[in-house]
Each structure stands twice: as C-alpha cells, then as structure tokens.
Amino acid sequence: MGRKRATTLLGALLAATVASPAYPAGNPDAARPIISENCVSCHDVPGFKPKYGKAEVNAPGFQTIADQPETYSANQIRQFLQHPHYPMAKFVLSSSDIENIIAFIQSLRHQ
C-alpha cells in the first residue's frame, strides 16, 4: 500500500472515530423498547410515559442517573443491571440490552 493511500485511510478512520458519539458499545435507540416496557413504571425517563401509571417506589430518574456519573458510573449501572435487587424486578437482560441502556443513559448527559 502506498504511503499516500495509507495516510488517506488513516485520516478516514480518525475522522470516523471523532465523528461518532462517545457511547459505549451499546445503541441508545435500541434501548427504547426495553425502557418503555420495563423501566418507566418506576423511573422517570425523559420522553417516556408509563402505560399503567407510576409505581410507588423511590427509584432515581434516568436524567438524575445521567447527571451524576460519579455516583452512577457505566460500570456501576452494568453491575446493578446484571444483579438487580428489590424493589427492582428481576429482569433478564442480555449484555447487549444492558449496554444499550447504558448508552441511552449516557446520551442524556449531552442534553
């Protein structure tokens, strides 16, 4: 591969990296159905409304979680979602579901 072509390829890769948002491996849009079905009955989530009303629990809102990364780091959220405890229901979430939820929460930090 010629030097000019290698430089062009490297430049394109760097541009793609810089242009992409700083989310973990997850996709925030892919989390929307999970959040709609499982999270909004207990957590306030910007842009979502619970289908059947709000549960009487003291669960932090997603915006609060997003705005306090020192308290709710991606790793802490990941660990919690892998092993939820009362009053959170025991959802069975795949690792990609968890990463998508983390990406959604992190996307709220940029608002």
Joined tokens for residue 6:
């290698």
pLDDT for 105 beyond 90: yes
DSSP per-residue string spanning 55-92: -S--PPPHHHHHH-TTTS-HHHHHHHHHS--TTS----
Mean of the per-residue pLDDT values of the chain: 81
Query: Strand, coil or helix: what is 101?
Result: helix
Compute the average pLDDT of residues 19-45.
Answer: 83
Looking at residue 17, its pLDDT comes to 41
- Helices and strands, number each (H, E), in the chain: 5, 0
Q: What is the pLDDT of residues 2-20, one digit of tens each?
A: 555 544 444 444 444 444 4
Q: pLDDT tens across 63-81, in order?
A: 999 999 999 999 999 999 9
The domain locations on the chain are 24-108
| Domain with residues 24-108, CATH architecture | Orthogonal Bundle (1.10)
46, 79, 86, 88 from 55: Cα distances, Å: 17, 23, 13, 11
